[in-house]
């Protein structure tokens, strides 16, 4: 049975780690954030943390909270026809509802990490690092302006990612096995 899985969680939890792991197992990956970046490039907007936040929020104000799911729907349908598909960083409750209406077997996996560990990871990552104040602002923005809490709270499965990568992968494998056995 083909699987459609969305990875959700706050910045720095390890969503990309889960996505890469599943991608290496043959899943097709669709990045929700990349849809925003591509749209910004199309419109000639320089991509910075501030410009991305402003663009993302304006796009959602203008087209609704489910806009990214709507933009990616044809790509998701195409990938899912072929095989297992992973959606990296579905954000809003509306995105979830749009996709759940179309794909009844969609599963949400939430990656969670203690805040102190997460903030440390985000400040030290080589790609798009944030300082302490900026990650707090981003968290608040994602909760208040992107409705990110709904999919996190309503996830089918959770992975606590506070340390050992082998434990993380083991839990991810347990989840995949459980989905396979449904």
Domain count of the fold of the chain:
1
Q: Which residue has the higher pLDDT, 49 or 71?
A: 71
Q: What is the pLDDT of residues 11-49, one digit of tens each?
A: 999 999 999 999 999 999 999 988 988 989 999 999 887
**Of 49, 38, 23, whose CA–CA distance to 125 is shortest?**
49
- Region 73-91: mean pLDDT is 96
pLDDT at 140: 92
| Range from 143-152, 155-164, 173-182 carrying the lowest mean pLDDT | 143-152
pLDDT at 3: 96
Distance CA 22, CA 167 (A): 15
**Of 159, 157, 123, 154, whose CA–CA distance to 138 is shortest?**
123
C-alpha distances in Å from residue 94, one per residue of 5, 8, 61, 73: 16, 14, 13, 13
pTM recorded for the entire structure: 0.92
- Region 62-71: mean pLDDT is 94
Other Cβ atoms within 10 Å of 104 Cβ, number: 7
Tokens encoding 176: 């995949």
Contact 146, 60 (CB under 8 A): yes
Q: How does DSSP classify residue 146? A: S
- Region 95-107: mean pLDDT is 97
Range of the domain at 112: 4-180
Distance CA 11, CA 119 (A): 8
Say which CATH number the domain at 57 has.
Answer: 3.40.50.300
**Residue 69: band (very low, low, confident or very high) from pLDDT cuts 50, 70, 90:** very high
pLDDT at 92: 93
């Amino acid at each position: 049975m083909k699987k459609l899985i969305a990875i959700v969680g706050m910045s720095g939890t390890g969503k990309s780690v889960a996505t890469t792991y599943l991608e290496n197992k043959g899943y097709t990956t669709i990045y929700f954030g990349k849809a925003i970046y591509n749209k910004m490039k199309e419109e000639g907007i320089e991509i910075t943390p501030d410009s991305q936040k402003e663009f993302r929020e304006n796009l959602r104000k203008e087209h609704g909270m489910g806009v990214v799911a709507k933009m990616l729907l044809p790509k998701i349908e195409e990938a899912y026809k072929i095989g297992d598909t992973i959606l990296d960083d579905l954000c809003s409750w509306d995105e979830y509802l749009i996709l759940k209406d179309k794909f009844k077997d969609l599963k949400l996996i939430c990656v969670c990490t203690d805040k102190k560990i997460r903030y440390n990871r985000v400040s030290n990552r080589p790609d798009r690092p944030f300082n302490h104040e900026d990650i707090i602002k981003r968290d608040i923005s994602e909760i208040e302006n992107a409705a990110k809490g709904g999919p996190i709270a309503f996830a089918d499965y959770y992975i606590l990612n506070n340390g050992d990568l082998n434990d993380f992968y083991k839990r991810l494998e347990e989840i995949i096995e459980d989905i396979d056995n449904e």
